[in-house]
Chains A and B, each alone.
Chain A
Amino acid sequence: MIGALQFGQDFLSAVIQAPQLRPEAASSIAEGVDHLYFALTFITLFFTFVIFSTILFFMVKYRRRAENERPPDTEEHLGLELTWTIIPALICAGLFLWASSLYFENSRPPSASTEIFVIGKQWMWHIQHPEGVREINELHVPVGVPVKLTMTSEDVIHDFYIPAFRVKKDVIPGRYSSLWFQATKVGTYHLFCAQYCGADHAEMLGWVYVMSPADYEAWLAGGTPSQSMQQSGELIFNKLGCASCHLSEGTGRGPSLVGVYGKEETLKNGDKRLVDEAFIRQAIVNPNSVVLTKYPAIMPTFQGQLNEEQVLQLVAYVKSLASEERKTEGK
């Protein structure tokens, strides 16, 4: 009874207050998306109003006054037809250009992004920072820094959705997807799974904690990472004997992995592919699909022997080989 009363009060106060029209805008792209959204809302309301009021006006003005009323014949009017074909077409073209250029901008991460790894599985989010800190259903990020998420799933398709950042991307088993954002406001925001994934889909949620850089550093240090992702990857690399073929000098049976990340390589079938996270993953789980020109197709698959987290750690290790080489070049 008291609960019902309390709810009634909440309900009333929520109705009386100006209704909330948008979620908190806490990323660098949120305002841009909201502007487009409100423009679209305006167009919708405007045309709905125009059509409704025209219909109402006609309904009153031309209401049937006598049973045997015989209105004049309809006249065709090509000009009118063209007008209301062309005007919507122009509006659509404008909206398309606006929305697409915004999308284009929003989907390209700045190159110097902090990278965090996400694994979705029924029904939780596993997150690992490059420094090795792991968290579940929580994501801590620094404010004002571009963050790139590399994501995959261990089972079904999930979807990583942070409404306050206006970002969303499917998290798909067997491949990497990525998403980036730059948080602009310190705070705590919802993290939802937005692709139906089974019984507890609605419980597959968490919180994103946007922290000041100093707080974030403190938080990272306060975690108890045994090893960074790169170090874990190196251990796996050695344990599986990867180095017996992938010699760093490039004299082994497999290509050297030093400096390979970020380069364009030519495959046996002539395709040119950029070596990114997805490429490295593919080379581990399905090596024969990405054999390089000068090498034989002899690498065994590691699918089933490694879980997605271990694959991600290997990816992090291979990427670190690239940056170390660049460091030496720099010197």
Chain B
Amino acid sequence: MSTATIDVHEAPAGSHVNYLNARYGVKSWLLTTDHKRIALLYLVSITLMFFVGGTFAVLMRLHLIEPQGALVQPETYNKLFTMHGVIMVFFFLVPSIPATLGNFLVPMMIGARDLAFPRLNLLSWYIYVIGAIFTLYAVISGGVDTGWTFYTPYSSSFAHTQVIPTAIGVFITGFSSILTGLNFVVTIHKMRAPGLTWFRLPLFIWAIYATSIIFILGTPVIAITLFLLGLERLLHIGIFDPAIGGDPILFQHLFWFYSHPAVYIMILPGMGVMSELVTCFSRKRIFGYSFVAFSSLSIAIISFLVWGHHMFVTGQSIYAGLIFSVLSFMVAIPSAVKVFNWTATLYKGSISYDAPMLYALGFIGLFTMGGLTGLFLASLATDVHLNGTYFIVAHFHYIMVGGAVMAYLGGIHFWWPKITGRLYPDGWARFAALVIFVGFNLTFFPQFMLGYLGMPRRYAVYPSEFQVLNVMSSAGASILGIGYLIPLIYLTWSMRYGPAAGPNPWGAKGLEWTTPSPPPTENFEEIPVVTEEAYDYANTTVTRG
């Protein structure tokens, strides 16, 4: 096999025509069908939503510094955690990696000029924005206080807040997910470059593919559920409210049938990013390609069968509990396989500590903790005590923030030179990764302890014996908040002032790195022909030109 050479210091391609400067003006952005520009539209929108949701989180943590509540009335606190959850889950985490990095990278990684349905792609973004506007309207016009889980009959018959506008917002945004998922599935099936067989695909594509399947199969269920909730609230037809003949537990079954797979919508793409980062920064082919690829698919499938583990204390039958428990344990296994494979990939590698790699290593650690604490909740006997406490809050934040957000930031840092054509200050980026890692652990580790000590979640005030751990958590949250602001600043700065990046500053494999940075509108002048496995670092020499 011939040995390829990558020059990481190859001169940037001057003022070449690329997707960013091909056209100018607001209209050229709002009417674009270029997947890369749409990715940037998403990036701006979800970043905005992330900081709105993050502000609510900071206010909550400040409030909880004192047992009797330091900042707001309980009603307001209830709205804060609800809006935090709704915005972070539906408007940041779900679209985060698929709609930004996925949109940008899927065509580029498979050697295509765009997604299969470019106009549908733009429509997805508009649908997302309309959904977001409804939800932000709900925030501004008084907020909503049902919890992001919208449990009935509280949400259907008792809450006096903006349940309907929020539900409409989430309902609408769901269609954006469905269309994006559909677009990815068709694109990955039909538009791979010649020679790019399924088992030569980068694992990021496998992860996006698995995610897309959940988008398509799961999202309609949350749409139906919220539609029924709206009907119940407006017309009182008696689906969920027992006072008029409904069943409140039915809502939970429907809600978690989507919302548990949704957890994997959030984490699977992050796992895909991880496989790209770990291979590039250790210059190794992934260890156990097919195990990593199929673990994504098996996670996607099993994720549809575990929803009942959210309901162990609702009085569901003991036998149903046993089945959901064993299935939940089964999800742990492919997740563990992934962690072991990433770790083994490092063996005998050539490991560098660039900022994206620090995020990746942070991910492995935090995801491991998040996954293992899931075992406490799959275990029936301990779940009875831990359900509904801060232990749950800590567990899913380790997965969603420690896992998904770390991977998202790692991915943004990794592909930033490709997306913008600019380099960011590496020192600042490493510093931010460290601050986020420390802040995160200080915020959420004490919450595991609070949970076992018995502090229920969603409490605006709490018994004073829980104060010390709460103060630690709040201190961590302020560090974490600063940690997230630092990248916002230097990444924005780098778009104008960062040094120009060559086509491949990391010496990475993958078709996206064969294009100039930023890539031209059509991505590839000629559609590439693929003749090698993914991550063929062993036959590539990286030079510093």
Q: Is A259 engaged at the interface, CB distance under 8 Å to the other chain?
A: no
State whether A157 and B248 are in contact (beta carbons under 8 Å apart), knowing that A36-B379, A58-B343, A71-B283 are contacts in the complex: yes
Cα separation A161 to B348 with both chains bound (whole Å): 51
Q: A99 touches which one: B365, B379, B541 (CB < 8 A)?
A: B379
Q: Is A305 engaged at the interface, CB distance under 8 Å to the other chain?
A: no
A95 touches B329 (CB 8 A): yes
Q: Is B339 engaged at the interface, CB distance under 8 Å to the other chain?
A: yes
Q: Is A270 engaged at the interface, CB distance under 8 Å to the other chain?
A: no
Q: Using CB atoms, name the residue of chain A closest to B542.
A: A68
A193 touches B346 (CB 8 A): no
Name the interface residues of A80-100: CB closer than 8 Å to any CB of B: 80-81, 84-85, 88-89, 92-93, 95-96, 98-100
B315 touches A170 (CB 8 A): yes
Q: Using CB atoms, name the residue of chain B closest to A87.
A: B336
Q: A14 touches which one: B387, B468, B541 (CB < 8 A)?
A: B468
A169 touches B382 (CB 8 A): no
State whether A67 and B452 are in contact (beta carbons under 8 Å apart), knowing that A58-B347, A173-B248, A202-B462 are contacts in the complex: no
Q: How far is the CB of A101 from chain B (nearest CB, A)?
A: 8
Name the interface residues of A45-65: CB closer than 8 Å to any CB of B: 47-48, 51-52, 54-55, 58-59, 62-65
DSSP majority for the B interface?
A: helix
Measured CB to CB, the residues of A under 8 A from B are 7, 10-11, 14-15, 19-23, 32-33, 36-37, 40, 43-44, 47-48, 51-52, 54-55, 58-59, 62-65, 67-74, 76-77, 80-81, 84-85, 88-89, 92-93, 95-96, 98-100, 102-104, 106-107, 122, 155-157, 159, 161, 163-164, 166-170, 172-175, 177, 190, 192-203, 205
B372 touches A199 (CB 8 A): no
Q: Is B297 engaged at the interface, CB distance under 8 Å to the other chain?
A: no
11 A-B contacts, Cβ less than 8 Å apart? Answer: A21-B449, A44-B373, A55-B361, A59-B346, A68-B541, A77-B344, A164-B454, A173-B248, A190-B454, A196-B457, A205-B463
A74 touches B284 (CB 8 A): yes
Name the interface residues of B290-315: CB closer than 8 Å to any CB of A: 291, 313-315
Q: B372 touches which one: A44, A68, A84, A170 (CB < 8 A)?
A: A44
A73 touches B538 (CB 8 A): yes
Name the interface residues of B25-64: CB closer than 8 Å to any CB of A: none
Q: Is B432 engaged at the interface, CB distance under 8 Å to the other chain?
A: no
State whether A64 and B375 are in contact (beta carbons under 8 Å apart), knowing that A48-B365, A156-B158, A169-B313 are contacts in the complex: no
Q: B463 touches which one: A40, A106, A190 (CB < 8 A)?
A: A190
Q: A55 touches which one: B322, B325, B326, B343 (CB < 8 A)?
A: B343
Q: Using CB atoms, name the residue of chain A closest to B75.
A: A199
Q: How far is the CB of A139 from chain B (nearest CB, A)?
A: 16
B459 touches A23 (CB 8 A): no
Q: B351 touches which one: A62, A85, A196, A199 (CB < 8 A)?
A: A62
Cα separation A125 to B478 with both chains bound (whole Å): 37
Q: Using CB atoms, name the residue of chain B closest to A75.
A: B287
Cα separation A43 to B372 with both chains bound (whole Å): 8
Cα separation A115 to B217 with both chains bound (whole Å): 46
A15 touches B313 (CB 8 A): no
Q: Is B485 engaged at the interface, CB distance under 8 Å to the other chain?
A: no
Contacts of B339 in A (CB 8 A): 51
B369 touches A44 (CB 8 A): yes
B348 touches A62 (CB 8 A): yes
Contacts of A174 in B (CB 8 A): 242-243, 247-248
Q: Is B471 engaged at the interface, CB distance under 8 Å to the other chain?
A: yes
The residue in A14, A77, A173 that gathers the most chain B C-beta atoms within 10 A of its C-beta is A173
Q: A62 touches which one: B286, B349, B361 (CB < 8 A)?
A: B349
Contacts of B382 in A (CB 8 A): 33, 36-37, 40, 99
B154 touches A168 (CB 8 A): no
Q: Is B109 engaged at the interface, CB distance under 8 Å to the other chain?
A: no
Cα separation A106 to B382 with both chains bound (whole Å): 11
Contacts of A43 in B (CB 8 A): 372, 375
Q: A11 touches which one: B375, B379, B468 (CB < 8 A)?
A: B468
Contacts of A33 in B (CB 8 A): 381-382, 384-385
Q: Is B321 engaged at the interface, CB distance under 8 Å to the other chain?
A: yes
Q: Is B255 engaged at the interface, CB distance under 8 Å to the other chain?
A: no
Q: How far is the CB of A200 from chain B (nearest CB, A)?
A: 6
Q: B333 touches which one: A89, A175, A197 (CB < 8 A)?
A: A89
The residue in A69, A84, A164 that gathers the most chain B C-beta atoms within 10 A of its C-beta is A84
Contacts of A65 in B (CB 8 A): 350
